[in-house]
Amino acid sequence: MKNKGQMEMSFGMIFTIISIIIFIAFAIYAITVFLNSQKSVQAASFINEFQNDVDKLWQGSGQQEKTYSVPGNTEYVCFVDFNSPANNLEEVYNKLKLFSDEGNLFFYPHDYEGKEIQHMDIQKTTIQNPLCIRNNNGIKIIIKKDFEDALVTISDK
């Protein structure tokens, strides 16, 4: 008597299907790790380039307006003075303070550690505390230092 509709799968076929599923899962994991590391590299590149521009202007005087590339998941780049109370975007200030009160440069939503930008007058920069600059396919920052100033100030206008 023959059973119609009965399907027999060999051990080799089952092993092949399981191997394909494992390979696809590993490929998805590897792509995710690669994309996340790309965002971290882009954030580090922005910080290094920005610090270099601040250092150049700090050694002289003048004004420079530049557009920087930041990771795509970044909504704002914020300059924060945690020694002063928030008077602008208090929700952002409080969320950033929960993660770290070290540094004066932060990415929001918070994905990376805060960084301390040297030679920057954070009190003059953060008249609106925090000063958050919206990411519109990059952020436009104005770096300036007058001859009589000791440190550089940052603005978005």
Grade residue 2 by pLDDT with cuts at 50, 70 and 90: low
Query: Structural domain boundaries of the chain?
Result: 11-155
Residues pairing with 120 in the sheet? 152
Structure confidence by residue, pLDDT tens digits, 24-42 = 999 999 998 887 778 888 8
Residue type, 112: Y
| pTM of the predicted structure, to 2 decimals | 0.74
E strands present in 1-119: 62-68, 76-79, 105-108
- What stretch of H or E contains 49? helix 11-58
